[in-house]
């Protein structure tokens, strides 16, 4: 009986494969032998070059980690050092803008459109850090909490750049600060009869066309409210008294909202940013708030040639 050749893997001696002239590695599987084909020269040279590059990199650049730092490298380069240089250059550029903002009167800021744009961008960043907690990310405010909407064109104390800057600097009803914006609305609970209260609520709504007025409401308003809000409810920025005729409401526009405000007014407070933020940041915030859509022109500066930009370096 003839011997049957086994299949599978078995060790064999190395030999030269006749068709290719390549030495085998001595492995066979089901009649298939593995050839010891050498690596291509381009691959070997690439591999050698990576070794040379690695040696150069370890010597030239930070490479070996130590306890609190890495080896310095003979070139003295580091990613931290490069970042520090780039940040230093950025700081210098920002400082140049801040120096220019510090020198220019805020009334003249719109004359320099490029500087105004940079001030608005800086104010936007400062607003996100310091103001969104009350006024919201879109500066729309909140009627429930009494935070003004900064996007409309209704201003209690003035909406030009200088007025906004003053409000930011000194705050509103900031206790212990003599220069703060200050207004007080008395509580009319107990001072007015219920019928007078309902009548004056109706009169306030009638000023913006939301209800029918009455003679009693008009008289009650004239006797108790017109001194601050004006005879037609147009308001007064001198006292921070809101305009009641424009249908823009700080504390709500329902009869209940207005009744509650007449009887027990809720008075908001904004902190003064003087001492918390530097004057240039406050100026940038004023520029940003002014740019939101309701900012007003400052007309006095056109009549005051003494207000000039300090162009000295």
Binding-site residue positions for heme c? 131, 134-135, 185, 225, 228-229, 270
CA 283 – CA 80 distance, rounded (Å)? 33
Single out the residue of 90, 123, 128 nearest to residue 106, CA to CA: 123
Helix, strand, coil share (%) of the chain residues, nearest 5: 45, 10, 50
For residue 157, what are the contacts with CB-CB under 8 A and spacing of at least 6?
A: 163, 166, 167, 172, 181, 237, 240
SS (H, E, C) 102-121: HHCCHHHHHHCHHHHHHHHH
- Per the annotation, binding residues are 131, 134-135, 185, 225, 228-229, 270
According to DSSP H, which parts of 171-278 are helical?
194-206, 215-224, 226-229, 255-263
User: Sheet of 9-11: strands edge to edge?
Assistant: 9-11, 24-29, 32-35
Q: How many residues would you count in the chain? A: 313
Could you tell me which residues are beta bridge partners of residue 274? 277
Single out the residue of 112, 101, 69, 226 nearest to residue 165, CA to CA: 101
The count of other CB atoms within 10 Å of the CB of residue 300 is 11
The count of other CB atoms within 10 Å of the CB of residue 170 is 19
């Amino acid at each position: 009986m003839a011997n049957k050749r086994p299949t599978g893997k078995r060790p064999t001696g190395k030999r030269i494969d006749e068709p290719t002239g390549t030495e085998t590695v001595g492995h066979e599987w089901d009649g298939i032998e593995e050839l010891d084909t050498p690596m291509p020269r381009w691959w070997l040279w690439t591999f050698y070059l990576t070794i040379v590059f690695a040696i150069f990199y370890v010597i030239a650049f930070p490479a070996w980690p130590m306890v609190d730092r890495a080896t310095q490298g003979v070139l003295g380069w580091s990613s931290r050092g490069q970042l520090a240089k780039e940040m230093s250059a950025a700081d210098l550029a920002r400082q140049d803008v801040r120096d220019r903002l510090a020198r220019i009167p805020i009334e003249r800021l719109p004359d320099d459109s490029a500087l105004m744009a940079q001030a608005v961008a800086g104010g936007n960043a400062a607003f996100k850090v310091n103001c969104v907690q009350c006024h919201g990310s879109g500066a729309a405010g909140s009627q429930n909490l009494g935070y003004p909407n900064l996007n409309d064109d209704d201003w209690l104390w003035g909406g030009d750049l200088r007025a906004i800057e003053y409000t930011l600097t000194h705050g509103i009803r900031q206790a212990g600060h003599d220069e703060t914006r200050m207004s007080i609305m008395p509580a009319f609970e107990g001072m007015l009869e219920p019928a007078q209260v309902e009548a004056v609520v109706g009169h306030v709504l009638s000023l913006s066309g939301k209800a029918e007025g009455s003679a009693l409401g008009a008289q009650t308003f004239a006797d108790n409210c017109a001194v601050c809000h004006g005879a037609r409810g147009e308001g007064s920025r001198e006292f921070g008294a809101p305009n009641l005729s424009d249908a823009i409401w700080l504390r709500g526009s329902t009869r209940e909202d207005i009744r509650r405000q007449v009887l027990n007014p809720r008075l908001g407070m904004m902190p003064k940013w003087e001492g918390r933020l530097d004057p240039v940041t406050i100026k940038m915030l004023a520029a940003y708030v002014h740019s939101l859509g309701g900012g007003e022109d400052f007309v006095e500066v056109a009549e005051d040639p003494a207000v000039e930009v300090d162009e000295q370096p």
